[in-house]
Structure 1
Amino acid sequence: MKSWTKFITDYKSYLKIERGLSVNSVENYSLDINRLVRYLEGTGQDISPLKITEETIQDFIYKMAEELNPRSRARLISGLKSFFNYLVFEDYRKDSPMELIEVPKVGRKLPDTLSTEEIDDLIRAIDLSSNEGERNRAMLETLYSCGLRVSELVGLKISDLFFDEGFIKITGKGNKQRFVPIGNSTQKYISLYRDSMRNKLEVKKGHEDTLFLNRRGSGLTRAMVFTIIKRLAEAIGLNKSISPHTFRHSFATHLLENGADLRSIQLMMGHESITTTEVYMHLDRKFLNKILNTYHPRK
């Protein structure tokens, strides 16, 4: 529908230029609007985004309830709210048709957290006599000690290592870069892998600067890292559903439990919003009581 095309294009430019969102994020936002447009086309309703009413959108949401789970529906409503808020902000509309539409309540499912003992057990289960042993130990130590996403781990380059300064440079979502502190022990394991195993590989063209390589001299895939962790969990009989993200989650949780502030954790993890970091505030009441009794003036 032509009446929607211009507004969607302008909205995508706004998200990219003024809000600085990545290409993937911008496309995800536009998918929500396009789903609404397809619904209007399918029901023969030629309504512009400037004239569409709350009732029409509510009918659309009811229809989507047949196809989407509550979490997906909540994301859809959030995307539409953002679009119509943009139209109001730009004075295309006086009000948003989304104002009274409620977002379905969804529980925020947190992944399992590993204890430090479980992380130690997983790392001890690595067969260091194998060709990939030193690499796997260095990878898991880096995942946990730096709180990386798996995509950041497999994309880590040798030129990103600034060991003299005690940092590594990480390229995260939307190609946003940040510097993350790295401890001496993790530096030691990375150096050991680089000097004892990686240097012996015949590195494929294009991967000369890639830190973690497979046995054929190419970069690892995220699926390979997932498989390595799953096999280690099976080897120690760990009765938890874990993935590379479990190490990142454990990194944040353990920092918070030991007194680190949310803002510092946010910077290290590369979260765009502090609300994303706040998901790690799922600690037991004893810890929260300790914080209150330590820092509140009315303790």
Structure 2
Amino acid sequence: MNWQTYIKSFQSYLKIERSLSANTIANYSFDLLRLTNYLEAHGISKNPITIGEEEIQLFIYAVSKEVNPRSQARIISGLKSFFSYLIFEDYRTDNPMELIETPKIGRKLPDTLSVQDIDALIAAIDLSKEEGERNKAMLETLYGCGLRVSELITLKISDLFFDEGFIKITGKGNKQRFVPIGTTTQKFIELYKNHVRTHLRIQKGHEDTLFLNRRGKQLTRAMIFTIIKDLAVKINLNKAISPHTFRHSFATHLLENGADLRSIQLMLGHESITTTEVYVHLDRKHLTQIVNQFHPRR
């Protein structure tokens, strides 16, 4: 069998047995494609069964010149998973990644926006355009509920439980959670759903999808990125922001206003609280205020 056959089998394993998201599977597949392109470009005739540590090391060295340590670590992690899968399926008995070390990348603190920045971005949306009400509802939902971009674009009308004050989110690994939604965010969603969405010609299979493009289909991740970046340019916001910046801001502002980490972890859908703990390191000014307010030696 060739590389492509093994990769397709690996993709099925990731989807069915490990329940990984389409984005994660695509990243793993891209990294394997990068490896096969490297082998082809250098005339190395090795398949997934015969490739050894030496060829992998040469590939990792070449990659390290092109990508940052964080991306390099992700590539190594993906390759380790692939060769572990081959061992699991008895295609090979050894893992050529066993002695390859992952570069130390440290802990990257997420970028955040102030409440004023978020208000300015949302205020800059042109409501005279057809997509204006939709974009406003989407950004309010991103910030108001702390969603990932993939969770936003796949949000269903049937996931809205406004009477109870919650929405149902399907996150990474198809894990579901209920997230509180405020009345302000509910208002903007209802405005879009009842006065804009009803005028769209909705395509088959997208009847339950909340946020739609002009063709009546689910929006893409890239479209959300573009909307946010255009708004940042419009208000002269000199920050590199993305949909995830709204999620980070959601968590940071909750923490600053006294929310506990466990509650934030549940709302964000983090499997481990150590992932949530990164927000403790974000605003040292806030931590100083906490000490000054509560410590007996303040």
How high is the TM-score relative to the length of structure 1?
Answer: 0.73
Identify if the C-alpha distance between structure 1 residues 83 and 261 changes in structure 2 by more than 3 Å, giving closer, same or farther. Answer: farther
Query: Corresponding residue for 1:256?
Result: 255
Say yes or no: does 1:43 pair with 2:41.
no
Equivalent of residue 205 in structure 1, options 184, 200, 203: 203
Identify if the C-alpha distance between structure 1 residues 162 and 274 changes in structure 2 by more than 3 Å, giving closer, same or farther. Answer: same
Q: How does 1:1-299 map to 2 (within 5 A)?
A: 15-16=14-15, 19-22=18-21, 24-26=23-25, 28-29=27-28, 32=31, 42-44=43-45, 48=49, 52=52, 57-83=56-82, 98-106=97-105, 109-110=108-109, 112-199=111-198, 201-206=199-204, 207-215=206-214, 217-288=216-287
Identify if the C-alpha distance between structure 1 residues 38 and 141 changes in structure 2 by more than 3 Å, giving closer, same or farther. Answer: closer
In 2, Cα distance between equivalents of 1:214 and 1:260: 35
SS of equivalent residue, structure 2 residue 102: coil
SS of equivalent residue, structure 2 residue 61: helix
Identify if the C-alpha distance between structure 1 residues 143 and 28 changes in structure 2 by more than 3 Å, giving closer, same or farther. Answer: closer
Deviation string 1:249-286 (CA, Å, 9 cap, x unpaired) is 21122223333344433332234454543443432334
Structure 1 counterpart of 2:239, one-letter code: K
> 235-244 or 55-64, which moves further after superposition?
55-64
SS of equivalent residue, structure 1 residue 239: coil
Contact 1:203 1:218 in 2 (8 A): no
SS of equivalent residue, structure 2 residue 60: helix
Identify if the C-alpha distance between structure 1 residues 104 and 9 changes in structure 2 by more than 3 Å, giving closer, same or farther. Answer: same
Calculate the aligned-residue CA RMSD, in Å.
Answer: 4.2
Deviation string 1:55-99 (CA, Å, 9 cap, x unpaired) is 554344334434544333222222333455667889975x86545
Identify if the C-alpha distance between structure 1 residues 13 and 129 changes in structure 2 by more than 3 Å, giving closer, same or farther. Answer: closer
Identify if the C-alpha distance between structure 1 residues 85 and 223 changes in structure 2 by more than 3 Å, giving closer, same or farther. Answer: closer
Task: Report the CA distance between 1:248 and its aligned residue.
Answer: 1.5
Percent identity between matched residues is: 70
Deviation string 1:206-242 (CA, Å, 9 cap, x unpaired) is 3433323445555444444334333433333322222
In 2, Cα distance between equivalents of 1:10 and 1:108: 33
In 1, Cα distance between equivalents of 2:48 and 2:208: 53
In 2, Cα distance between equivalents of 1:286 and 1:136: 32
Identify unmatched segments of 5+ residues in structure 1: none
In 1, Cα distance between equivalents of 2:235 and 2:5: 57
Q: Please say which structure displays the higher CA radius of gyration.
A: 1
How high is the TM-score relative to the length of structure 2?
Answer: 0.74
In 2, Cα distance between equivalents of 1:11 and 1:216: 34
SS of equivalent residue, structure 1 residue 226: helix
Task: Report the CA distance between 1:116 and its aligned residue.
Answer: 0.7
Contact 2:6 2:48 in 1 (8 A): no
Task: Report the CA distance between 1:165 and its aligned residue.
Answer: 1.1
Structure 2 counterpart of 1:245, one-letter code: H
Task: Report the CA distance between 1:120 and its aligned residue.
Answer: 1.6
In 2, Cα distance between equivalents of 1:165 and 1:267: 17
SS of equivalent residue, structure 1 residue 153: helix
In 2, Cα distance between equivalents of 1:221 and 1:204: 16
Structure 1 counterpart of 2:266, one-letter code: L
In 2, Cα distance between equivalents of 1:47 and 1:85: 11
In 1, Cα distance between equivalents of 2:152 and 2:37: 39
Contact 1:23 1:174 in 2 (8 A): no
Contact 1:213 1:219 in 2 (8 A): yes
Identify unmatched segments of 5+ residues in structure 2: none
Contact 2:228 2:243 in 1 (8 A): yes
In 2, Cα distance between equivalents of 1:297 and 1:83: 54
Task: Report the CA distance between 1:146 and its aligned residue.
Answer: 0.7
Contact 2:14 2:20 in 1 (8 A): yes
Task: Report the CA distance between 1:102 and its aligned residue.
Answer: 2.5
Q: What is the total number of aligned residue pairs between the two structures?
A: 294
